């Protein structure tokens, strides 16, 4: 049986972690991406900021910055959570929630 990676974490950390996993997958598959939409405006601001955040969340942000640098043409934008329901529904289905 597959081991679950599900654990309790703050939503912004979950969004950062999921974004990092998705971007690393795109990088590993050598996909060319031009647009990334995230529904956490604070995460976008933190990724675009020059300051380093000295927390575990900050380490995720720094990892995101590093992976984003692998995609020279990518732009990061905010999307309303209501417009992002398809992604949320896929996540819920993947963890076994109806």
Q: Are 23 and 64 in contact (CB under 8 A)?
A: yes
Q: What is the pTM of this model?
A: 0.73
Domain assignment of residue 25, yes or no:
no
Q: Name the domain count of the chain.
A: 1
Structure confidence at residue 1 (pLDDT): 47
Query: Is residue 42 situated within a structural domain?
Result: yes
Q: Is residue 28 part of a domain?
A: no
Phi, psi of 50 (to 5 degrees): -85, -25
% of residues, the chain, pLDDT over 90: 28
pLDDT digits (tens, 9 = 90+) for 9-57: 678 888 888 889 989 998 999 988 888 888 888 989 999 999 988 888 8
Within-domain flag for 86: yes
51 located within any domain: yes
Mean pLDDT of all residues in 70-79: 88
pLDDT of residue 28: 92
Instruction: Please compute the mean of the pLDDT values over residues 91-96 and round it to a whole number.
Output: 66
Q: By residue range, what is the domain housing residue 52?
A: 33-95
Answer yes or no: is 48 within a domain.
yes
Q: Is residue 14 part of a domain?
A: no
Q: Is residue 61 part of a domain?
A: yes
**Per-residue pLDDT at 90:** 67
Cα torsion through 76, 78, 82, 87, rounded to 10: 20
- Contact call for residues 78 and 38 (beta carbons, < 8 A): yes
Question: Residue 96: what pLDDT?
Answer: 66
């Amino acid at each position: 049986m597959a081991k679950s990676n599900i654990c309790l974490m703050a939503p912004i950390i979950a969004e950062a972690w999921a974004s990092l996993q998705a971007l690393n997958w795109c990088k590993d598959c050598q996909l060319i991406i031009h647009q990334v939409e995230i529904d956490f405006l604070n995460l976008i601001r933190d990724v675009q900021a020059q300051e380093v955040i000295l927390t575990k969340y900050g380490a995720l942000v720094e990892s995101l910055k590093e992976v984003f640098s692998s995609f020279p043409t990518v732009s990061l934008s905010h999307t309303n959570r209501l417009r992002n329901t398809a992604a949320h529904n896929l996540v819920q289905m993947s963890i076994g929630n109806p």
